[in-house]
A and B are shown apart, each in its own frame.
Chain A
Amino acid sequence: MTTASSFKKHFLLLGILTVAALFLNISLGSVGIPLDAIADVLLGGDSIKESWQFIITQYRLPKAITAMLCGSGLAVAGLLMQTLFRNPLAGPFVLGLSSGASLGVALLILGAGIAGGFLGTALVNPWSLVGASALGSFLVLLAVVVVTLRVKDTMAILIIGLMFGSVTSAVVAVLSYFSNAELLQKYIFWSFGSLGNVSWEGIGILAACCMTGMLWAIGKSKSLNALLLGENYAKSMGVHLKKNLLILVVITSLLAGSITAFAGPIAFVGLAVPHLTRQFFKTSNHLILLPAVMLFGSILMLLCDTVAQWPYSEWTLPINAITSLLGAPVVIWLLVRKKRLLF
């Protein structure tokens, strides 16, 4: 296996790009803020304008941090799933994890409305949202794993993902028929995806979940590398298969679940980022790929968010739409140019 030191330049470049994307993201918005003012605020100095300071610390910085956490977390979840399911098309969105999380949130938001009254409002808080969404994605992933253990066909798991998508939209349709307009709107806006609605407290929770998941994933990189040869070979090299599969499922649903809970379903980042990263990092070693997809995911998400907030205007576009608009062509381009999509 190639060691991390042979990729020093790559990581340095990615690090610089991440910082650049971060500054670009914070500086652009409905109001443009010059870069030196941002540096001033971030380094704890006094800003020239108090309004800028407020915008940065209360709105743009939390949004940028959320973007980085979501981008890196989803990219890691995507990479783990591609290795776990031996399928280059695997990703949190494709395999129905986001659908599962959506279903959990839909049941919570819309269901609480039907339950009504005090109980209804008590149920819908940031923590229960995270719980419902993480539980939803965990159950879907568990179902997918059970299917893959029985059916040795990588196509089957994509079909399962599609089916969960259908079930989600069906249940949401039924629930929305019985819900009031206000709750329905709440759910619809959640499903658009948004990076800007996360409070500092929420970021704390999200960061805790993402960091746990990502560090745990790095700790599992040796087993992940063994899985690249297939389950039988992994077993023959001393990997505890069942234990490791369970751990990887838990990590993936922790990442996908918590991110979907706070930022809504975000498509294509989990699928596209690992493939993009493989174009630049000529290795399959997860010890190198995992940190690389984290940086790549952060950069991509910061750029998508910069586009979504539509500089110098009042509009904020749904982030889910932007990642799809960018991600889908990337996947098609990779397929056409390379004539194959490998993981």
Chain B
Amino acid sequence: MAKKTAHSTLQIRDLSAGYEQRKKTHVVVHDLNFECSTHELLAIVGANGIGKSTVLRTIAGMQPSLAGDISLMGAPMAQMNSLEIASNISVVLTEPPASKNLYVSELIALGRQPYTNWMGRLTEEDHHAVQHAMEQTETTQLAQRKCFELSDGQMQRVFLARALAQDTPVIILDEPTTHLDMYHQAYVFKLLKRLTSEIGKTILFATHDINLAIQLCDKMLVLTPDAYHFDTPCRLIEQRCFDTLFPKDTIHFDTKTGRFTMKN
């Protein structure tokens, strides 16, 4: 694929992420270094509880980093105000909307908040962005439905549409394919792929679907208890980085097919 000139969107330097609780610091991940550019689809994989969500939340500016720097579009994120971050990074989280009574059209339009006036009034441009986001995610026919009427797959598409309506160069998703059937998993992955390759978004997401991620992603961040690896899927396979991802008793990584398989 002939890529247009890619430029760096996110730079992570010596990042430590974790929680501070009652003056005790729990470092979940430390000394992370990686860089994301436009047109790139990047996956973070690792076992449950390894800190994928913590890393994503830290990069998205939703929790403070413990150490290190994040720069966003070439500027240090620590010096940006929340509105500047909001117009550069949009998120899709694992949590359902707090209000299940929201109409789909209203939920997607909320993505325009960083750009609307104090009343949240939608301009012609905002309506256009919402329409466009709905077309890209095929959610137009859901517009008049309420959130509690949607299936998990539809809900995920709606949340993705909201992130697209926010119109940011970087989109961060936390386990976007959990609870989805195989068709919808592949659907979401292909959609993410299309958004990066065609529109030039930087998409960073955490996933448990390693087999699909290896097939589609440009780069992957592999978190293991001892170390982390960041590279293209092919090179990660060559370096046997997936071997140490899980305990070896039930599944193993087949280097030839690039998939995890059951042990006999």
- A residues at B contact (CB < 8 Å): 1-3, 83, 86, 219, 221-222, 225-233, 235-240, 278, 282-285, 287, 340, 342-343
Asked if B98 and A229 sit within 8 Å, CB to CB, the answer is yes
User: Cα distance A256–B164 when bound, in Å?
Assistant: 39
A residues in contact with B97, CB < 8 Å: 228-230, 233
A86 and B99 in contact, given A233-B93, A236-B90, A236-B91 (Cβ under 8 angstroms): yes
Asked if A229 and B99 sit within 8 Å, CB to CB, the answer is yes
Asked if B120 and A225 sit within 8 Å, CB to CB, the answer is yes
- State which of B12-20, B38-46, B111-119, B237-245 sits at the interface with chain A: B111-119
Asked if B122 and A237 sit within 8 Å, CB to CB, the answer is no
- Which listed residue (B109, B118, B148) contacts A1, Cβ 8 A? B109
- Which listed residue (A3, A219, A229, A284) contacts B103, Cβ 8 A? A284
- Which listed residue (A236, A342, A343) contacts B86, Cβ 8 A? A236
How many cross-chain pairs have Cβ atoms below 8 Å apart between A and B? 99
Asked if B91 and A233 sit within 8 Å, CB to CB, the answer is yes
Is there a chain A Cβ closer than 8 Å to B36's Cβ?
no
Measured as residues with beta carbon below 8 angstroms from the partner, the interface class of chain B is: 35 or more
A238 and B118 in contact, given A2-B106, A233-B93, A283-B106 (Cβ under 8 angstroms): no
Asked if A342 and B101 sit within 8 Å, CB to CB, the answer is yes
User: Cα distance A285–B119 when bound, in Å?
Assistant: 10
Is there a chain A Cβ closer than 8 Å to B249's Cβ?
no
- Which listed residue (A238, A240, A340) contacts B148, Cβ 8 A? A340
Is there a chain A Cβ closer than 8 Å to B110's Cβ?
yes
B residues in contact with A287, CB < 8 Å: 119-120
Min C-beta distance of B85 to chain A, whole Å:
7
User: Cα distance A3–B122 when bound, in Å?
Assistant: 9
A residues in contact with B91, CB < 8 Å: 232-233, 236
- Which listed residue (A1, A227, A232, A278) contacts B120, Cβ 8 A? A1
Asked if B110 and A278 sit within 8 Å, CB to CB, the answer is no
Asked if B99 and A236 sit within 8 Å, CB to CB, the answer is no
Min C-beta distance of B91 to chain A, whole Å:
5
**Closest A residue to B126 using CB positions:** A1
User: Cα distance A219–B83 when bound, in Å?
Assistant: 18
Asked if B119 and A222 sit within 8 Å, CB to CB, the answer is yes
Asked if A238 and B113 sit within 8 Å, CB to CB, the answer is yes
Asked if A83 and B93 sit within 8 Å, CB to CB, the answer is no
- Which listed residue (B101, B111, B118) contacts A343, Cβ 8 A? B101
**Closest B residue to A238 using CB positions:** B86
Is there a chain A Cβ closer than 8 Å to B54's Cβ?
no
A residues in contact with B103, CB < 8 Å: 2, 282-284
Asked if B99 and A237 sit within 8 Å, CB to CB, the answer is no
Min C-beta distance of B76 to chain A, whole Å:
18
**Closest A residue to B100 using CB positions:** A342
B residues in contact with A237, CB < 8 Å: 86, 110-111, 113-114, 166
A residues in contact with B113, CB < 8 Å: 222, 225-226, 237-239
- B residues at A contact (CB < 8 Å): 60-62, 82-83, 85-87, 89-91, 93, 95, 97-103, 105-107, 109-111, 113-114, 116, 118-122, 148, 166
User: Cα distance A153–B148 when bound, in Å?
Assistant: 20
Min C-beta distance of A216 to chain B, whole Å:
12
A278 and B114 in contact, given A236-B89, A240-B82 (Cβ under 8 angstroms): no
15 more contacts with CB within 8 A, not counting A221-B120, A238-B82, A284-B101, are A1-B110, A83-B99, A221-B119, A222-B118, A225-B110, A225-B120, A226-B110, A229-B98, A233-B95, A237-B86, A237-B110, A237-B113, A237-B166, A342-B101, A343-B99
Min C-beta distance of A93 to chain B, whole Å:
21
User: Cα distance A326–B109 when bound, in Å?
Assistant: 37
Asked if B107 and A229 sit within 8 Å, CB to CB, the answer is yes
Pick the most buried of B90, B93, B106: most chain A CB atoms within 10 A of its CB: B106
B residues in contact with A233, CB < 8 Å: 91, 93, 95, 97, 110
User: Cα distance A240–B116 when bound, in Å?
Assistant: 15
A residues in contact with B122, CB < 8 Å: 1, 3
**Closest B residue to A224 using CB positions:** B120
User: Cα distance A86–B148 when bound, in Å?
Assistant: 15
B residues in contact with A3, CB < 8 Å: 121-122
A-B contact pairs, 13 of them (CB 8 A): A1-B120, A222-B119, A222-B120, A225-B110, A229-B99, A230-B95, A232-B62, A236-B93, A239-B113, A282-B103, A284-B106, A287-B120, A343-B101
The 6 closest A-B pairs by CB, nearest first: A238-B86, A222-B120, A230-B98, A238-B83, A228-B99, A342-B101
**Closest B residue to A282 using CB positions:** B103
Asked if A342 and B98 sit within 8 Å, CB to CB, the answer is no
Asked if A1 and B114 sit within 8 Å, CB to CB, the answer is no
B residues in contact with A2, CB < 8 Å: 103, 105-106
Min C-beta distance of A25 to chain B, whole Å:
32
B residues in contact with A282, CB < 8 Å: 103
A284 and B116 in contact, given A226-B110, A237-B110 (Cβ under 8 angstroms): no
Asked if A284 and B99 sit within 8 Å, CB to CB, the answer is yes
Min C-beta distance of B252 to chain A, whole Å:
36
Asked if A229 and B118 sit within 8 Å, CB to CB, the answer is no
B residues in contact with A219, CB < 8 Å: 118
